[in-house]
Amino acid sequence: MPDNIYLPELARIAHIKEEISGERAIKTYRVEPVNGGGFEHNCGQCAMLSIFGRGEMMISIASSPLITEYKQFSVMRVGRVSAAFHELDVGDVIGIRGPYGNSFPVDDWRGKNLVFIGGGVGLAPIWPVITTAVAQRADFKNISVFYGARSPRDLMYKAELERLRGDADIQLSVDKAEEGWKEFCGFVPANVLDKKPSPNNTIAITCGPPIMIKFVIQNLQQLGFADEQIYTTIENKMKCGLGKCGRCNVGKDYVCTKGPVYSWAQLKQLPEEY
């Protein structure tokens, strides 16, 4: 931890990619430390990004820990700070502090099948696990990625997902049919039920809108997944990231330090306060 836990390090925007346009646009940023600083992180951890004059926001680190030159963040334009983020250009300097929170127990999963289930911008928090697993392909058995969004235009990381084919079984879906769409049409949970991934020696990792997560978990349970085999992440409003400002708690746990990653077995013990 730095001397001053609230003082961000400066970081430069090295690359911006427009993932999705429209009302709730999503852009992906590569961020590099400015003064040779930076920090290491684990899959699932978050960082507090600053735009000075606007404030801070907590965002999942969307790049694999194996990548040390930069960190990647996919930011949906929904609020005060994220709207300002979308105005940034390559070369602009922001603030960053972290990493915060726990992480996916990826090491415990070596030798297992992995089923990733993402919806919308919820692909970002699990992307580090996906890319790490693919980079260390021999350590894992089958890797499948279920990913869906409202329409083909709302799918992020499209090119990256295509590149994963061969290493992973990619199952895309859209809520509403559109001309030319060849893959599954329907909600993500339905796609999972349709493809019936086997629970044997498998871990399922899901992230997306709360309503999607709810039905994904129901469907996984229907397929025979035990609560300990299902992992997800939760979010709450955060200000400090350090378990002190008092607003992100779910029961006794501050999500910023004890979360955001929970197995369903753990999460169902907590009150539904997220």
Binding residues vs other proteins (CB under 8 A): 1, 3-8, 10, 23-24, 34, 52-56, 77-80, 82-84, 91-93, 95, 235-237, 239-240, 242-252, 257, 271, 273-274
Please tell me the distance from the alpha carbon of residue 207 to that of residue 165, in angstroms, as a whole number: 20
Nearer to other proteins, 130 or 250 (CB): 250
Which tokens in the block code for residue 203?
């871990």
Min. distance of Cβ 138 from other proteins in angstroms? 36
Please check whether residue 191 is in contact with residue 116, taking contact to mean a CB–CB distance below 8 angstroms. no
Measure the CA dihedral 219/222/228/231, to 10°: -10
The residue whose two tokens read 């409003």 is 237
Report the residue number, 21 or 198, with the smaller CB distance to other proteins: 21
Q: Are 60 and 125 in contact (CB under 8 A)?
A: yes
Taking the least distance from each CB to other proteins, the nearer of 11 and 143 is 11
C-beta of 267: minimal distance to other proteins in Å? Answer: 14
If the CB atoms of residues 141 and 247 are measured against other proteins, the closer one turns out to be 247
Smallest separation (angstroms) from other proteins to the CB of 13? 12
Instruction: Rank residues 134 and 238 by Cβ distance to other proteins and give the closer one.
Output: 238
Nearest to 58 by CA among 87, 79, 42, 89: 79
Q: Which of 17, 25, 20, 18 is closest to 152 using CA atoms?
A: 20
- Least distance to other proteins from the beta carbon of 269, Å? 10
| Alpha-carbon span 154 to 79, nearest angstrom | 19
Least separation in angstroms between CB 201 and other proteins: 34
Measure the CA–CA gap between 8 and 242, rounded to whole angstroms: 13
Instruction: Name the residue nearer to other proteins (CB basis): 92 or 169.
Output: 92
Instruction: Map residue 216 onto helix, strand or coil.
Output: helix
Nearer to other proteins, 19 or 235 (CB): 235
- What is the smallest separation between the CB atom of 204 and other proteins, expressed in angstroms? 24
Give the residue among 127, 135, 92, 89 at the shortest CA–CA distance from 110.
135
Give the sign of the dihedral formed by CA 188, CA 189, CA 194, CA 197: positive
CB 76 to other proteins: min, Å: 9
Pairing of strands 249-250, 253-254: antiparallel
